Structure 1
Amino acid sequence: MISVCLATYNGERYIKEQLQSILKQLAQKDEIIVVDDVSTDHTVSIIQQLNDSRVKLFRNEHNLGPIKSFQKALEICIGDYIFLSDQDDVWLDEKVHKVLLCFEQHHAQLVVHDSIVTDAQLNTISNSWNLYNRNRFTSSWLLTVIKNPYTGANMAFTRSVIENTVPFPSKIPMHDSWLGAYCQKKGLRIDILSEALSLYRRHEDTVTGGSHKIIKMLMDRMLLFKALWRC
């Protein structure tokens, strides 16, 4: 069984297109866990109008932010294979199939794929997010602390990863770097796919993607290092 975990916040412009691109790749037994972080637009009503029993909507009583919202989704989901999703991307056909092959044939515990970078209208900016963002995947969790190559929207993992990483440490900078670095530190099998399996929107309303201020970057790295050192 597959669980897709998705956090929404004021995503009315893109959420329907994204959910439709995911649903057509899922079986009837699969699920999409949507945690809405107190949207003030029509995001919730758009999701409800899809009227698909595989989409399970949970609404936060107050704003928790993306990390806690994704944690909530991971705590709720029941799938054997868990995919993370942003609210504004589009999954390309065969994404689910190709990622599942890594789990089934290579016994991977974490799978990471590339994406095509686009603007809000899905015009291509770059054919590779990993090249565009200078992501470099190694076996060293310390290098991930220095420069995180893991992007949540491009990640999927087995239930065993959830059991060892959730709840998240209280002061990590972002959930994707924690999940990726933890798997590295514990020596879990990680498959890195060079193929782009989604359209990754970058636009003025993007929720994820932190500040580039040097002090904040250094503090974030220190907090992630401390969390990983303790595990």
Structure 2
Amino acid sequence: MKISVCIATYNGENFIKRQLDSIIKQLKQDDEIIMVDDGSKDQTVQVVKDTYGNRIQVYVNEKNLGAIKSFEKAISLARGDILFLCDQDDVWEDDKVETVLNAFEDQHADLVVHDAYVVDGDFNILNPSWNDYNHNNINQGIFGNILKNAYTGAFMAFKRDIVSDILPFPSTIEMHDQWIALVCMMKKRKIVFIEKPLMKYVRHGGNVTGIKKRPLSVQIKGRLRTISAVMGYKG
């Protein structure tokens, strides 16, 4: 079973090595890591090329496309049987890959989502559970997940055969991870949740995603656009 790790980067030179080191030691030689850099202004790309050479497949966007399009590109380039999504500034626990793969095999999952430790930039634990910290309800269904996304991309892995269901990402969606979860629900794919924290989810104030609280009007518009994407989904 070949693994593809899909990672989007942007100005991550201070974090990327510790993340990739935590991943590579869990992979087989024929597994792949696909990194799409969204036009970093720092040395992220050079650090990765100098440190890992051809072990990492590096693609650089000609212009800044944002996280959704960068992940779409990485997913479309992946050739593995199981695709893991990955952010640049977290750290995987040593048993993440093995535990997730076991869920696919033992529970016949299509999408696997796990919990994570919430830590600060010095790895001090802020909460032992992201789902508790973020008040997530993983079983809330389609409408509930439109109102409040409970699925975080960095904690996701899915079978290759759902790629054709989720891509291309609709232009109106707010988040790629929310869309992947919604499509799996609509297609009645088997979603397995692992309660064990399998990574350190770093909240240091400089994260590219998941920090800013948006105004209510922006939230409402975003949800309406997501509803539009769901209503127009033809699968």
Tell whether the 8 Å contact from 1:88 to 1:201 is kept in structure 2 after alignment: yes
Residue in 1 aligned with 2:220?
218
Q: Say which is worse superposed, 201-210 or 68-77, in terms of deviation.
A: 201-210
The residue correspondences of 1:126-137 to structure 2 (distance < 5 A) are: 126-137=127-138
Tell whether the 8 Å contact from 1:3 to 1:79 is kept in structure 2 after alignment: yes
Residue in 2 aligned with 1:35?
36
Matched, 1:106 2:116: no
Alpha-carbon RMSD = 1.0
Tell whether the 8 Å contact from 1:211 to 1:217 is kept in structure 2 after alignment: no
Deviation at 1:105, TM superposition (A): 1.2
4+ long deviations beyond 4 Å: none
Query: What fraction of aligned residue pairs are identical, expressed as a percent?
Result: 46
Q: Distance in 2 between matches of 1:177 and 1:168?
A: 11
Gaps of 5+ in 2: none
Matched, 1:97 2:106: no
Residue in 2 aligned with 1:230?
232
Deviation at 1:145, TM superposition (A): 0.2
Report how many residues are paired.
231
TM superposition score normalised by structure 2: 0.96
The residue correspondences of 1:94-173 to structure 2 (distance < 5 A) are: 94-138=95-139, 140-173=141-174
Q: Distance in 1 between matches of 2:166 and 2:26?
A: 27
State the SS of the aligned residue for 2:6.
Answer: strand
Tell whether the 8 Å contact from 1:30 to 1:54 is kept in structure 2 after alignment: no
TM superposition score normalised by structure 1: 0.98
State the SS of the aligned residue for 2:54.
Answer: coil
2:150 aligned partner, one-letter code? P
Q: Distance in 1 between matches of 2:225 and 2:163?
A: 20
Deviation at 1:139, TM superposition (A): 5.5
State the SS of the aligned residue for 1:7.
Answer: strand
Gaps of 5+ in 1: none
Tell whether the 8 Å contact from 1:29 to 1:54 is kept in structure 2 after alignment: no
Residue in 2 aligned with 1:88?
89
Tell whether the 8 Å contact from 1:140 to 1:185 is kept in structure 2 after alignment: no
Tell whether the 8 Å contact from 1:139 to 1:184 is kept in structure 2 after alignment: no
Matched, 1:60 2:61: yes
Q: Distance in 2 between matches of 1:185 and 1:204?
A: 34
1:59 aligned partner, one-letter code? V
